């Protein structure tokens, strides 16, 4: 039984697909450059429409570029495997977005249906849009992508490359959190100061834990093929990531604070302006 069957209308796809949004994700990504170019196009088109699905892409495209730069500068022991890793991972996002946009609900994993649907129905804060995408892509897609690209041969070497991504992302994560805070309150340099215990649970630093769990699940699915273990591992992925998405939508914030933040977003700042602030902050970090 699908985890969100009880309230599907809350996470329904658009009534009709937008051809300009379908075009960049139609057909598999072949290279890292192809993936980043097409996802960047999709992010720009979503941003132009004020579509909050752009928020995760703003972060994800930059992350992908950072890891690709690491490949090109010799950061990884197995660059060919890392390129396959990035492309395979990006294709999981591509397929989920394409299925959602074209109304193929059965093909949309529940964590992505929650993320896309909530963002489209304007019931989220920008910080929630970011967390919803990170949750679905890391806590659901990554284990499956790792299984697809293969952990063997030289599993230990591949694991070290997997861990090296965490090092590349660490500085970018700090910049992202500061940028998300600045979206809401100029001069607030720490999301903790704004979101309190909500951020302690949902901080983007949880990507490291999610990536570690993804590797463990991929190992189980690779090494244990006897039923019911593969099916159980899939159920754990789906249930954990969907539960995480629903938790992101139920933050333990003071209702008055939450209402005030929503009013601020709706009245004072467009999605495009918010994403430009995030872009500027991340670019400053690169400099």
Q: What is the pLDDT along the chain (287 residues), one digit of tens a residue?
A: 344 544 556 788 888 999 999 999 999 999 999 999 999 999 999 999 989 899 899 889 989 999 999 999 999 999 999 999 999 999 999 999 999 999 999 999 999 999 999 998 867 788 788 889 999 999 999 999 999 999 999 999 999 999 999 888 876 766 666 666 665 554 444 445 555 544 544 455 577 888 999 999 999 999 998 989 888 888 889 899 998 888 888 765 555 555 666 665 655 566 677 777 777 766 776 65
Domain for residue 252, yes or no?
yes
Domain for residue 3, yes or no?
no
Domain for residue 153, yes or no?
yes
Domain for residue 83, yes or no?
yes
Domain for residue 238, yes or no?
yes
Domain for residue 194, yes or no?
yes
Provide the 3-class DSSP secondary structure of residue 174.
Answer: helix
Domain for residue 2, yes or no?
no
Residue 231's domain comprises 8-286
Tally: H helices and E strands in the chain? 14, 0
Domain for residue 31, yes or no?
yes
Provide the 3-class DSSP secondary structure of residue 35.
Answer: helix
The tokens of 234 are what? 């899939």
Rounded distance, CA 96 to CA 105, Å? 9
Check if the beta carbon of residue 128 is closer than 8 Å to that of residue 140. no
Rounded distance, CA 43 to CA 40, Å? 5
Query: Could you give the number of structural domains in the chain?
Result: 1
Quote the pTM value. 0.86
Angle at CA 113, nearest 5°, toward 21 and 259? 95
């Amino acid at each position: 039984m699908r985890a969100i069957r009880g309230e599907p209308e809350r996470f329904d796809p658009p009534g009709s697909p937008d051809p300009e949004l379908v075009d960049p994700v139609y057909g598999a990504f072949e290279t890292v450059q192809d993936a980043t170019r097409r996802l960047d196009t999709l992010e720009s088109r979503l941003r132009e429409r004020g579509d909050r699905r752009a928020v995760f892409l703003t972060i994800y495209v930059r992350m992908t570029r950072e890891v690709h730069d690491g490949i090109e500068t010799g950061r990884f022991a197995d660059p060919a495997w890392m390129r396959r890793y990035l492309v395979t991972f990006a294709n999981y996002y591509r397929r989920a977005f394409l299925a959602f946009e074209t109304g193929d609900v059965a093909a949309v994993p529940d964590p992505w249906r929650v993320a896309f649907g909530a963002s489209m129905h304007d019931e989220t804060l920008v910080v929630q849009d970011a967390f919803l995408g990170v949750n679905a892509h890391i806590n659901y897609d990554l284990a499956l992508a790792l299984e697809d690209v293969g952990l063997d041969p030289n599993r230990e070497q591949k694991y070290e490359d997997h861990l090296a991504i965490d090092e590349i992302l660490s500085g970018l994560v700090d910049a992202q959190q500061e940028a998300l805070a600045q979206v809401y309150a100029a001069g607030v340099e720490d999301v903790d100061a704004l979101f309190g215990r909500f951020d302690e649970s949902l901080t983007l630093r949880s990507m490291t834990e999610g990536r570690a769990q993804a590797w463990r699940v991929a190992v189980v699915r690779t090494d244990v093929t006897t039923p019911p273990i593969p099916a159980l591992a899939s159920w754990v992925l789906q249930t954990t990531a969907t539960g995480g998405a629903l938790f992101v939508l139920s933050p333990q914030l003071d209702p008055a604070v939450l209402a005030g933040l929503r009013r601020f977003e709706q009245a004072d700042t467009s999605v495009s302006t918010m994403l430009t602030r995030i872009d500027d902050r991340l670019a400053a970090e690169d400099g």
